[in-house]
Amino acid sequence: MYVANPTAIKALADVVVSSMQRFRIPLTPENYSLWYEYHIGNNRELQRTMDVIISNSADFDETVLHDLYVTFLSSAKEAEIVRETSVNVQDALRNLISVALRVGVDADEFGAALTELAAMEHTKSTDGLRDLVGHLIGESRKMAEKSQVAGARMRESASKIETLERRLESALVEARTDSLTGLANRRFFDSRLRALAGDAMNSGDELSLLMIDVDRFKRVNDTWGHRVGDELLRHLASTLQRTVRREDLVARYGGEEFAVILPQADAAAAIAVGENIRRALASVPVPLDVTPVMPPATVSIGVSCYQPGDPLSEWVGKADAALYRAKQEGRDQVRYIQ
């Protein structure tokens, strides 16, 4: 269903809003986009799932709505990238096949392999698409090797596909990256937090969280300006990346607040990582060319551990409360709330 003119848009909005009222759904942007998607019918999985809920006359409470949003819509940008790229990949496939046929390479060996690939339902997920592109590169290399005549054209095709692969990767990375610091953004953090908590619930492994806030950041901005403030955030980001364990996820949570998810880390291990961060930062002046010289920046850090069965908001709330306590008790310290 494609809606082009203002009257149709208004009519659709009316349908969406009245349907939301019928189910007593609060009119938030998140909820509106869920209901809009439901009625416009592009997202069949979302529609199917909401139908299951409606037919069971289940409640669309806050949790269900948030689950739906996280599951079906918050990754919509990623899905869009996958969709666009898969169209390009299909084009590249068609080219390869026609080149293969034109230069008379053995159709059994190459054409068939490619046609099979093209027919596969590979292109619906990021991983599937990666596999497909990987196969494509392999197949076109094989073709280039086997056919002297077609060598140059095959190499050209192959390099186009490789470019495509790099573009796919970079677009996917961009969708989950904070542009100022290069860390994971809040959206990606939220989805990883949920997924890792699900894993921890299944495996029984420990899972911890650090919330990190730059001390007196406003003063830095007021004294040296926002550009220096931004530089400080980048300095902190790179210190964080260097200091955490390989398996930890560092994200910019918002403003001057950062977060680290630590899989398989109990409270003691998480506090130790927090202490390493605090010390690494406090021990060196901020490497910025400003006058007067900027003293070392400090951070306050709150730590909490995930308890399976507790709401995620409670877990994050505990780390926030621990962070608040670290601030109250004089900043530049790590506090843990059980």
Partner 1 sequence: MTTTTTRLYCLVVDDSLVVRKVARRILNSLKFNVDEAENGQVALDLCGTLMPDLILLDWNMPVMSGIEFVRAFREKYGAVSAKVIFCTTQGDVEHIRDAAAAGANDYIIKPFDAAMLRRKIEAVLGIAA
Residue nearer to partner 1 on the CB measure, 57 or 291? 57
Q: Is 189 in the site for partner 1 (CB under 8 A)?
A: no
Among 203, 223, 238, 241, the residue binding partner 1 under the rule CB under 8 A is 203
Give the pair of three-digit tokens for residue 172.
Answer: 């996917």
Q: Is 71 in the site for partner 1 (CB under 8 A)?
A: yes
Q: Is 45 in the site for partner 1 (CB under 8 A)?
A: yes
Distance of closest approach, residue 51 Cβ to partner 1, in angstroms: 9
Q: Which amino acid is at 138?
A: G
Find all residues with CB under 8 Å of 193, minimum gap 6, and list them. Answer: 209, 261, 312, 316
- Please say whether the dihedral angle defined by the alpha carbons of residues 138, 144, 123 and 119, taken in this order, is positive or negative: negative
Strand partners, 212: 258, 301
Among 14, 61, 116, 329, the residue binding partner 1 under the rule CB under 8 A is 61
Distance of closest approach, residue 53 Cβ to partner 1, in angstroms: 7
Among 18, 57, 179, 291, the residue binding partner 1 under the rule CB under 8 A is 57
Q: Is 202 in the site for partner 1 (CB under 8 A)?
A: yes
Strands 334-336 and 249-254: unpaired
Residue nearer to partner 1 on the CB measure, 61 or 91? 61
| Cβ pair 247, 263 in contact under 8 A | yes
Before 308, cis peptide (omega within 30)?
A: no
Q: Name which of residues 300 to 329 contact partner 1 (CB under 8 A).
A: 306, 308-312, 314
Q: Is 246 in the site for partner 1 (CB under 8 A)?
A: no
Q: How many residues bind partner 1 (CB under 8 A)?
A: 35
Stretch that binds partner 1, among 87-95, 115-123, 192-200, 272-280 (CB under 8 A): 192-200
Stretch that binds partner 1, among 32-40, 41-49, 112-120, 297-305 (CB under 8 A): 41-49
| Cβ pair 160, 152 in contact under 8 A | no
Strand partners, 254: 257
| Cβ pair 166, 130 in contact under 8 A | no
Cite the beta strand spans of the chain per DSSP E: 207-214, 249-254, 257-263, 299-305, 334-336
Find all residues with CB under 8 Å of 20, minimum gap 6, and list them. Answer: 27, 31, 32, 35
DSSP secondary structure letters along 33-51: HHHHHHHHT--HHHHHHHH
Residue nearer to partner 1 on the CB measure, 72 or 217? 72
Q: Is 58 in the site for partner 1 (CB under 8 A)?
A: yes
Kindly list the catalytic residues.
Answer: 256
Q: How far apart are CA 277 and CA 256, in angstroms?
A: 15
Among 8, 101, 173, 195, the residue binding partner 1 under the rule CB under 8 A is 195
| Cβ pair 91, 99 in contact under 8 A | no
Among 198, 225, 287, 296, the residue binding partner 1 under the rule CB under 8 A is 198
Q: Is 197 in the site for partner 1 (CB under 8 A)?
A: yes
Among 31, 75, 140, 147, the residue binding partner 1 under the rule CB under 8 A is 75
Q: Is 63 in the site for partner 1 (CB under 8 A)?
A: yes
Would you tell me how many other CB atoms lie within 10 Å of the CB of residue 107? 14
- Write down the residue that tokens 């027919």 correspond to: 119
Distance of closest approach, residue 259 Cβ to partner 1, in angstroms: 17
Distance of closest approach, residue 31 Cβ to partner 1, in angstroms: 17
Q: How far apart are CA 237 and CA 146, in angstroms?
A: 49
Residue nearer to partner 1 on the CB measure, 59 or 145? 59
Q: Is 70 in the site for partner 1 (CB under 8 A)?
A: yes
Give the pair of three-digit tokens for residue 84.
Answer: 């666009």
Residue nearer to partner 1 on the CB measure, 287 or 308? 308
Binding site for partner 1 (CB under 8 A): 45, 48-49, 52-53, 56-59, 61, 63-64, 67, 70-72, 75, 191, 194-195, 197-204, 306, 308-312, 314
